[in-house]
């Protein structure tokens, strides 16, 4: 009972901290109300409060996350670099992204561990099973950020992969119209932002890096590493080879776009062919038994009634 009270108090404390950090949803309504009344859209008092809230939140995150992430911080520089690459593949490039991610693993692990212990106590489990339930909950909470990161990476890679053929077609038009490759990258990155935001973001970053003095090959290689998509790596290799050997960049881009479009069509056909095989399991397990009951049920009932009414049995 004491552990339940402690767990409830801890949950209430965490909820209060989160509520104090989250922004209020009434600010926009208040701003619209002030504008309709003829006043300023910004409330000075609310603005000061929001600034203080943001500063307190940043200070809390800055102080708490290093302590929480230090427990599971990767020991080697290679592991830290691999984690940074994964976060960049998911489109997360904040300054403290790695620290916040590791801290979230610690927090979720501790919260799920407490939840597992509380559930075990409420079920009246013995001590060994209680420890197992708490350990299972802690492991699940510890692995949840990894699962979220994996899903985010997969979703972003699919978006970049689906946007490559259209982007390459627009790059071909831009290069053939007289734009240089850097200008074409910048123009296409700006034009494709509403349609393919992830790929547009990567192209913009590569353009900014090239404008800052980084060699174009290195900027494009960084773009391929950030995206984590094999097709982007192939595109960068084709561009570098075309520039190295003096061949037409537009022709190379057109061939690459045709190849990517063919791969996308083949992948769609492959998924369509797999559909029939994947439907066999639900058909055999759920649909066929139900059809058998519907079709054969009345006949079985009639046979049972006939056997019961038969004088010879």
Q: Give me the tens of pLDDT residue by residue for the chain, a chain 313 residues long.
A: 555 565 566 666 666 655 555 555 445 555 556 555 555 544 455 566 666 666 655 565 555 555 555 556 665 677 778 888 888 888 888 777 888 888 888 888 888 888 888 888 888 888 888 888 888 888 888 889 889 999 999 999 988 888 888 888 888 888 888 888 888 888 888 888 888 888 888 889 888 888 888 888 888 888 988 888 888 888 888 888 888 887 788 888 888 888 888 888 888 888 888 888 888 888 888 888 888 888 888 888 888 888 887 766 5
- DSSP annotation string for 102-120: HHHHHHHHHHHHHHHHHHH
Q: What is the largest CA-CA distance in the chain?
A: 101
Structure tokens at 181: 């490759």
Cβ contacts of 269 within 8 Å, gap of 6 or more? none
Q: Are 87 and 227 in contact (CB under 8 A)?
A: no
Q: What is the pTM of this model?
A: 0.68
Which of 105, 116, 98 minimizes the C-alpha distance to 141?
Answer: 105
pLDDT of residue 65: 53
> Is residue 247 within 8 Å of 218, Cβ to Cβ?
no
**Confidence at residue 298, expressed as pLDDT on a 0 to 100 scale:** 86
d(CA 253, CA 262): 14
**How far apart, in whole angstroms, are the C-alpha atoms of residue 278 and residue 296?**
27
Q: How far apart are CA 257 and CA 255, in angstroms?
A: 5
- Find tokens 């399991």 and name the residue: 281
Residue 301 token pair? 């009932």
Distances (CA, A) of 268 to 136, 189, 261, 264, 272: 39, 26, 11, 6, 6
């Amino acid at each position: 009972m004491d552990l339940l009270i402690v767990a409830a108090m801890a949950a209430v404390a965490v909820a209060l901290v989160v509520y104090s950090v989250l922004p209020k949803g009434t600010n926009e309504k208040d701003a619209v109300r002030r504008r309709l009344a003829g006043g300023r859209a910004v409330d000075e008092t609310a603005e000061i409060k929001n600034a203080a809230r943001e500063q307190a939140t940043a200070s809390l995150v800055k102080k708490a996350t290093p302590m929480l992430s230090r427990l599971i911080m990767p020991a080697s520089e290679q592991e830290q670099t691999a984690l940074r690459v994964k976060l960049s593949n998911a489109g997360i490039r904040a300054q403290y992204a790695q620290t916040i991610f590791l801290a979230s693993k610690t927090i979720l692990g501790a919260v799920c561990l407490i939840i597992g212990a509380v559930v075990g106590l409420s079920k009246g489990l013995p001590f060994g099973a209680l420890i197992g339930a708490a350990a299972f909950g802690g492991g699940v909470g510890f692995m949840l950020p990894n699962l979220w990161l994996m899903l985010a990476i997969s979703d972003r890679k699919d978006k970049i992969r689906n946007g490559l053929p259209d982007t390459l077609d627009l790059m071909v038009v831009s290069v053939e119209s007289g734009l240089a490759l850097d200008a074409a990258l910048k123009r296409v990155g700006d034009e494709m932002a509403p349609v393919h935001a992830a790929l547009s973001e990567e192209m913009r970053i590569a353009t900014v890096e090239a404008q800052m003095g980084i060699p174009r090959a290195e900027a494009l290689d960084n773009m391929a590493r950030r995206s984590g998509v094999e097709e982007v790596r192939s595109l960068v290799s084709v561009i570098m080879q075309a520039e190295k050997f003096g061949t037409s960049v537009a022709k190379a881009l057109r061939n690459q776009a045709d190849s990517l479009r063919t791969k996308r069509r083949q992948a769609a056909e492959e998924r369509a062919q797999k559909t029939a095989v994947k439907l066999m399991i639900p058909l055999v397990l759920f649909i066929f038994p139900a059809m058998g009951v519907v079709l054969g049920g009345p006949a079985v009932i009639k046979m049972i009634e006939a056997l019961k009414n038969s004088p010879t049995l």
